[in-house]
Structure 1
């Protein structure tokens, strides 16, 4: 009887134990720290498992790779990919639950690309692109402003050609499916090749009478080399950027400039007309003031046939004083006592002495000089070359140097220190108080 009771009690106790066994239940969740899915990525684990006594975590590709903690915290991933997180939860009652989840780790974005121009940046410009961006699972979208092609999708773009001068952007947009980044570089295309030049004669050759020395100014754009051809010039050919050329014969001379770069060439032409040599410099409407006008710096009394300028007292310096070859003396505002004097005698006639002054012979009165000269106003007006001057004998004489009064038109002859002969035609005498002056034209030999 006792044995029977003990057996019944064991059965009851065993039945009660099986009914109260603890079940392992629940789940865990994962989340991206800071919502950042690009490497480096931190995955947070939120364990909501109940009824377990032990936990076996396996983090494929993660750090740490395993854990036995209930709450393993944060797992670091440094490589792109899809990884499995596995949990085996158990308890002492022999209950067990296994859960697996996957996390997607996206590649980080660190764009690296270079561009290299083939040959030069003269149009057309070909650009080689090298994409060295590291990562898997990335997409690349390229935009080439005004380029050919204009767009491309893929990691390795083809060479791109830009033809329009100016700045052009190359933009690549890289995406890992979670986020996108852009990087832009600029390609500058030089202006189209243009062959162009201007020219200017030397100061003493500005009348374009042969021989003419001309300075050429190259105004070409986007050129690296030049070939000049000068018809009738010396030199006849030049590769200088800005050459100087002498044209010795009268006529029309064609000048050709061929401009080059490593992509193309262009030609520009112009005609230069050289006139016959008259050996005569014609200067018109020259004002020469009386002494007071000069010394008061109102109207200059001194003139240079070399610089073709008149000078007031305050304009004379060590550089131009030796170039002055004409000096007018007017004693009063009524212009009743006038004469042209040699520059080296200026200090004897109410002017300051000129440094390194020239000696010029003047014939103020052809009638009184008794030197056989009779150069008329008509001869002056019709003179188009120096032939009428060549036969003149101009020597100093006191009679020829004497002053003249208020009489015009009037012809004054002169010979400069370097032997050039000339004539001055006084065509007006303007009374203006201390600023009175004469108005004249001058014709003088050039050499």
Structure 2
């Protein structure tokens, strides 16, 4: 009795990898067969007559037919054909986008663009979820930093890995700085301040003051000015936002009772070209000016006090109008204005003679009204170092009155100077 035969086989992808390139093993399960004829489309070998063919390598993606024809000694035949599909070469890759912006806390949406994969394993350094098997996960990074993100794309047991980094910006930390304008060193009302947003991680800001009479020039600008009109304590608030959350920073700023008086202590004046101390002073800026900076002095018209000494012995000295420096062989000052001094107050019979008590009693600019000073242009006068304290009244080109108190004379062979206190109107 003749026996029939049946062609049959099973296919196994090594490591379950169905992405090119992949290797395939075939198990022959035919029944009652004596001869075998295999054909393989797209494989590393195209045919075989072995009962169990060798391992096949498929290098490219596509659909390929595997055919087996069998026969036996009874001349019975059978045929089986199956098609396998090889996927695209396995690759791992992803992109990402931030929800609104990259400022912490940053929400990141990942877009998986891997090829040939059947499953995924993600890892996120310091993310709100350390791992994920989602195809396109969303992760939150709470703090500023650079974080590693890894994606493994699997086809069976085979995988490829792609790494990238996420740069997360500053978390929102609101803070601001302020400074007075117009050289209002004593913070006197009306007080104008310039505020500057120094927040980290902020994209927008808004300024506010707890007083309806305060005036904000531009409440949404990062740098603006605020007028605090009255002598009182104000609360200035900065509300900063990163587009996701808002936080505030507050500072109390005191506008003091107005005195219109500037009071500078221990201001030194040196001998021109023979001292490390400057001979030039801008009272409204509380600023000494180096001699080498005079040629580029953009605010020369504000320079109001110049000291001249004949030599380092300080045997003869005087305060000099900035527009008269050339007369004593000192550099000409660009845009210089006239300041009138009474260097020898004791020689002015019609003038009020100053004392320490009278000088100390000057608390506001109005206190100058009790004094009589006769200023006269063209009077050349000087003083020696024998009398201390010495008081030198002066009047600036813009009408501000002031008094220089010479407290001490310091003489050396190379660095002689005088030490002074100065009281002067802040504004005319």
User: Shorter-chain TM-score: what band?
Assistant: 0.7 to 0.9
> Do the aligned residues in 2 keep the contact of 1:343 with 1:359 (CA within 8 Å)?
yes
1:279 positional shift: 0.9
Quickly say closer, same or farther: Cα 1:111–1:67, change in 2 above 3 A. closer
Aligned to 1:424: 404
> Do the aligned residues in 2 keep the contact of 1:106 with 1:178 (CA within 8 Å)?
no
Please say if 1:365 is aligned against 2:344.
Answer: yes
Alignment match of 1:415 (pick from 395, 402, 411): 395
Distance in 1 between residues matched to 2:337 and 2:57, nearest whole Å: 101
What are the ranges of 5 or more consecutive residues in structure 2 without an aligned counterpart?
1-10, 27-34
Please say if 1:159 is aligned against 2:109.
Answer: no
Aligned to 1:325: 304
> Do the aligned residues in 2 keep the contact of 1:362 with 1:400 (CA within 8 Å)?
no
> Do the aligned residues in 1 keep the contact of 2:316 with 2:383 (CA within 8 Å)?
yes
Alignment match of 1:86 (pick from 48, 68, 71): 68
Q: Any idea what SS the aligned residue of 2:337 has? A: coil
Q: Which has the larger radius of gyration?
A: 1
Quickly say closer, same or farther: Cα 1:304–1:183, change in 2 above 3 A. same
Please say if 1:286 is aligned against 2:267.
Answer: yes
Distance in 1 between residues matched to 2:23 and 2:261, nearest whole Å: 96
Q: Any idea what SS the aligned residue of 1:367 has? A: helix
What are the ranges of 5 or more consecutive residues in structure 1 without an aligned counterpart?
1-29, 46-53
> Do the aligned residues in 2 keep the contact of 1:364 with 1:400 (CA within 8 Å)?
no
Please say if 1:222 is aligned against 2:201.
Answer: yes
Please say if 1:257 is aligned against 2:238.
Answer: yes
Q: Any idea what SS the aligned residue of 2:367 has? A: helix
Distance in 1 between residues matched to 2:84 and 2:156, nearest whole Å: 11
Distance in 2 between residues matched to 1:337 and 1:68, nearest whole Å: 118
Aligned to 2:248: 267
> Do the aligned residues in 1 keep the contact of 2:39 with 2:48 (CA within 8 Å)?
no
1:87 positional shift: 4.7
Please say if 1:205 is aligned against 2:153.
Answer: no
Distance in 2 between residues matched to 1:55 and 1:216, nearest whole Å: 91
Quickly say closer, same or farther: Cα 1:385–1:114, change in 2 above 3 A. same
Alignment RMSD, CA only?
Answer: 4.2
Distance in 2 between residues matched to 1:336 and 1:188, nearest whole Å: 69
Quickly say closer, same or farther: Cα 1:173–1:82, change in 2 above 3 A. farther
Aligned to 2:294: 316
1:244 positional shift: 1.4
Q: Any idea what SS the aligned residue of 2:121 has? A: strand
> Do the aligned residues in 1 keep the contact of 2:390 with 2:405 (CA within 8 Å)?
yes
Quickly say closer, same or farther: Cα 1:133–1:274, change in 2 above 3 A. same
CA deviations on 1:192-245 (whole Å, 9 max, x unpaired) are 222211112226122211222211111222222212102343228711112111
> Do the aligned residues in 2 keep the contact of 1:413 with 1:423 (CA within 8 Å)?
yes
> Do the aligned residues in 1 keep the contact of 2:272 with 2:308 (CA within 8 Å)?
no
Distance in 2 between residues matched to 1:88 and 1:445, nearest whole Å: 117
Q: Any idea what SS the aligned residue of 1:380 has? A: helix
Aligned to 1:351: 330
Aligned to 1:403: 382
Aligned 1:5-404 pairs, distance under 5 A:
38-41=19-22, 56-59=37-40, 62-63=41-42, 76=58, 78-79=60-61, 84-88=66-70, 107=87, 108-135=89-116, 138-153=118-133, 156-202=135-181, 204-232=183-211, 233-235=214-216, 238-289=219-270, 293-296=271-274, 298-319=276-297, 321-397=300-376, 401-404=380-383
Please say if 1:435 is aligned against 2:415.
Answer: yes
Quick check: 434-443 or 109-118, which moved more?
A: 109-118
Residues paired across the two proteins, number: 405
> Do the aligned residues in 2 keep the contact of 1:119 with 1:262 (CA within 8 Å)?
yes
Quickly say closer, same or farther: Cα 1:180–1:294, change in 2 above 3 A. same
Quick check: 239-248 or 181-190, which moved more?
A: 181-190
1:44 positional shift: 11
